[in-house]
Amino acid sequence: MRMAELSRRSGVPTATIKYYLREGLLPQGETTAPNQADYDERHLERLSLIRALREVADLPIATIGRAFAAMDGYRGDTAPEYLSIAIGALSEPLDVPDGEAGQYQRAEEEVAQLLELLGWDVDLDSPGRDDLVRSLVGVHRFLPDLIADPRQLVPYGKAVRTLADIEIPDSYDPAADPAAILRFSVLGTVLFEPVLLALRRLAHTDRIRSTQATRTRRRSRR
């Protein structure tokens, strides 16, 4: 199909498609004449993926490009590894600002302690590890009392680990298309995050109301 049809079917304006082509987020079409290229279903599929990552997860173009590069470059044959690669590419690598080495070192030590307490089989370059260090530095900077000891995080780790048993199957169908598994994993990770955070906010309201209800009952019994 031509650019105009690709734009119409994907719902993405041509100027935006050209931008994605320049940034390498979308592979070039097949050149059919000077200044004319042909696009196919794979372009449509990828545009839908970009829309999801931009509109729902609000991911930066650079992060999406990194995730695609990891997805396109992967040639392994162990299906669950796909998920790890996808999540890894979505994480921002650690970039320690000048003069903050001490704060990052403290957070790195806390993460190491926490992972030992949880007994998880992860290592320094596992997806999420840099994100955890960075977010702990943020917590310590602005709310020094919130997490005084990494042991406080153990219940959170146990909770998300229990959920991981539900989220990630024991095995994938060996006949499944690896690209489809990868798309499902990348999207599943980023689309589900706002669901989890929204549920947490609702759970807080229920918790607040239940403490107030308890107090009211206690008062009325006096």
Closest listed residue to residue 185, CA positions, set 79, 78, 104: 79
* Minimum distance, C-beta of residue 38 to its own copies, in the bound complex (Å): 26
For 20-24, the CB contacts below 8 A with 24+ separation are 20/47, 20/50, 23/61, 23/65, 24/65
d(CA 191, CA 162): 19
Looking only at residues 92 through 121 of this chain, which bind its own copies when binding is defined by CB under 8 A? 115, 118, 120-121
Of 22 and 201, nearer to its own copies (C-beta) is 201
Looking only at residues 12 through 51 of this chain, which bind its own copies when binding is defined by CB under 8 A? 48-49, 51
d(CA 86, CA 113): 26
Of 75 and 200, nearer to its own copies (C-beta) is 200
Q: Is 157 in the site for its own copies (CB under 8 A)?
A: yes
Among the residue ranges 2-10, 25-33, 67-75, 122-130, the one whose residues contact its own copies (CB under 8 A): 122-130
Choosing from 4, 15, 55, 99, the residue that interacts with its own copies (CB under 8 A) is: 55
Looking only at residues 160 through 179 of this chain, which bind its own copies when binding is defined by CB under 8 A? 160-171
* Minimum distance, C-beta of residue 160 to its own copies, in the bound complex (Å): 4
Residue 146, token pair as written in the block: 């919130």
Q: Is residue 42 a contact partner of residue 181, using CB atoms and an 8 Å limit?
A: no
Choosing from 10, 20, 91, 108, the residue that interacts with its own copies (CB under 8 A) is: 91
Q: Is residue 1 a contact partner of residue 39, using CB atoms and an 8 Å limit?
A: yes
Q: Is residue 40 a contact partner of residue 1, using CB atoms and an 8 Å limit?
A: yes
Looking only at residues 176 through 215 of this chain, which bind its own copies when binding is defined by CB under 8 A? 184, 187-189, 191-215
